[in-house]
């Protein structure tokens, strides 16, 4: 009796090993490295909200393969991002990576190239991120896409003298340079460019200096997660009452913080690729489902995660489940679809995102603050890459 039980148990064990062996071959592993804690936790929270929603809606099987997400927290430290990506490639043998903010994306790029593993950039807004590796594809945005458009809009709509307040790292430098170029070419003047540290910023002294320069407009780039504090200090320092207009790429009226900013922010005009108020059926469904799953309003960062998963799923469908890096990359290039933000595409030449940029004004709708879109620039490419051609 005992020996029969032992034999049965041994057989069962052998069967389960065989099954897990088969399973391993049929599993596509995606290594997700994001800022889940640390300085830019707000970014990680939104991007993961998009990733999780996509999986909830589309399941965990694609082209007959099981999709396994391996999520790692890089604590917003690029050296950690690099180590985690290395471990994911060597130990977990991931087929695909996804990356977050700019310094993390830069740190991971050489590893993606070496391992020939496609890496989907879900957050970084710095132009050169896609040039760091031929295996990188971006589903987020670039700061240049938005900053040139708001520069021209401001010059045409009464802004003459601008002070720039910029978070002091790569995407901020790009926002400043593209804005400055567009605004000065259209006849505007930059009085001063003030650079604020990324870590634990106190905007008050910079806002005082900005006010002292007596501009009619403040152009601001700060990353997601810092908009609430920035706008509070802008209003506390009385810049709105002094009649100084606030403009920028969409980060400063981030949908995550916007509901709690207070009515002082009403009327602020920004250029951005996403508003939770974007009037499409796809977006209404997205906002509702996102809130239900994640308990917060989706912001512009969340789309990089949601659409990043779309690129991965659709590429796997096209390759019939073949996870070879070059095959997946070929499938991703030129992909076009309707995102909750509007129509988007992956540029087949640059692997960068092409998307609409909307000019929006903060207004109250149904008792809540929203970025209400009033002008659309269609199929905008990253201007920094376009200028290099």
Task: Look up residue 250 and give its two tokens.
Answer: 């969409």
Binder to ligand PHB among 101, 154, 287, 335 (CB under 6 A)?
A: 101
Question: Beta strand pairing status for 217-221 and 161-167?
Answer: parallel
Q: Which of 94, 122, 150, 224 binds ligand PHB (CB under 6 A)?
A: 224
Residues 6+ apart with CB under 8 A from 290: 49, 50, 53, 296, 297, 298, 302
Kindly state the tokens that stand for 133: 């590796």
Region of 56-64, 83-91, 124-132, 368-376 interacting with ligand PHB (CB under 6 A): 124-132
223 is a site residue for ligand PHB (CB under 6 A): yes
Residue 251 touches ligand PHB, criterion: CB under 6 A: yes
Residue 287 backbone dihedrals phi, psi, to 5 degrees = -60, -45
- What residue is closest to ligand PHB based on CB? 101
Kindly tell me which of 101 and 155 has the beta carbon lying closer to ligand PHB.
101
> Helix-strand-coil percent breakdown of the chain, rounded to 5?
45, 25, 30
Binding positions for ligand PHB, 325-384, rule CB under 6 A: none
Q: Distance between CA 175 and CA 151 in Å, rounded?
A: 10
Q: Which stretch in 117-125, 158-166, 349-357, 358-366 sits in contact with ligand PHB by CB under 6 A?
A: 117-125
Nearest distance from C-beta of residue 142 to ligand PHB, angstroms: 8
Q: Which of 99, 126, 180, 268 binds ligand PHB (CB under 6 A)?
A: 126
How many of the chain's residues bind ligand PHB (CB under 6 A)?
11
Q: d(Cα 228, Cα 207) in Å, to the nearest integer?
A: 15
Give the residue, chosen from 98, 124, 180, 350, that forms a contact with ligand PHB under the rule CB under 6 A. 124
Between 123 and 309, name the residue whose CB sits nearer to ligand PHB. Answer: 123
Handedness of CA 83, 94, 42, 127 (dihedral sign): positive
Residue with smaller CB distance to ligand PHB, 95 or 275: 275
C-beta closer to ligand PHB: residue 221 or 313: 221
Within 8 A by CB and 6+ apart from 12, the residues are none
Q: Which is nearer to ligand PHB, 31 or 125 (CB)?
A: 125
- Helix, strand or coil for residue 355? strand
356's tokens: 């609409």
**Hey, what long-range contacts does 22-26 have (CB within 8 A, 24 or more apart)?**
23/66, 26/64, 26/65, 26/66
Contact residue for ligand PHB among 115, 121, 123, 309 (CB under 6 A): 123
Name beta bridge partners: 232. Answer: none
Give me the residues paired with residue 334 across strands: none
- Kindly tell me which of 251 and 373 has the beta carbon lying closer to ligand PHB: 251
Applying CB under 6 A, among 44, 118, 148, 171 the residue interacting with ligand PHB is: 171
Interaction of residue 50 with ligand PHB, rule CB under 6 A: no
Which residues of this chain interact with ligand PHB, rule CB under 6 A?
A: 43, 101-102, 123-126, 171, 223-224, 251
């Amino acid at each position: 009796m005992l020996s029969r039980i032992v034999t049965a148990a041994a057989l069962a064990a052998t069967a389960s090993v065989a099954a897990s062996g088969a399973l391993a071959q049929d599993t596509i592993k995606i290594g997700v490295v994001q800022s889940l804690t640390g300085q830019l936790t707000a970014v990680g929270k939104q991007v993961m909200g998009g990733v999780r929603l996509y999986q909830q809606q589309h399941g965990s099987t694609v082209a007959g393969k099981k999709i396994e997400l391996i999520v790692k927290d890089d604590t917003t430290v690029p050296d950690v991002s690099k180590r985690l990506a290395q471990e994911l490639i060597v130990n977990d043998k991931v087929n695909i990576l996804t990356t977050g903010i700019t310094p993390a994306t830069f740190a991971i790029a050489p590893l993606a190239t070496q391992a020939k593993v496609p890496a989907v950039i879900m957050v970084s807004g710095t132009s050169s991120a896609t040039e760091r590796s031929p295996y990188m594809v971006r589903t987020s945005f670039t700061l240049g896409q938005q900053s040139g458009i708001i520069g021209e809009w401001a010059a045409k709509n009464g802004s003459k003298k601008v002070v720039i307040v910029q978070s002091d790292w790569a995407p901020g430098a790009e926002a400043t340079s593209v804005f400055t170029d567009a605004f000065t070419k259209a006849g505007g003047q930059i009085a001063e460019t003030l650079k604020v540290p990324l870590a634990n910023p106190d905007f008050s002294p910079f806002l005082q200096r900005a006010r002292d320069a007596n501009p009619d407009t403040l152009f601001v780039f700060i990353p997601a997660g810092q908009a609430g504090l920035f706008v509070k200090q802008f209003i506390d320092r009385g810049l709105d009452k002094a009649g100084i207009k606030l403009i920028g790429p969409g980060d400063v009226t981030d949908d995550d913080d916007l509901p709690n900013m207070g009515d002082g922010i009403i009327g602020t005009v920004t250029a951005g690729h996403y508003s939770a108020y974007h009037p499409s059926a796809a977006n209404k469904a997205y906002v509702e489902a996102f809130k239900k799953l994640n308990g917060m309003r989706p912001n512009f960062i969340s789309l990089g995660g949601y659409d990043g998963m779309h690129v991965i799923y659709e590429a796997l469908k096209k390759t019939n489940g073949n996870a070879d890096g070059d095959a997946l990359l070929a499938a991703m290039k030129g992909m076009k679809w309707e995102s909750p933000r509007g129509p988007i595409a992956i540029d087949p030449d640059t692997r960068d995102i092409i998307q609409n940029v909307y000019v929006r004004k903060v207004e109250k709708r149904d008792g809540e603050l929203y970025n209400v879109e009033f002008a659309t620039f269609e199929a905008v490419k990253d201007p920094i890459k376009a200028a290099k051609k």
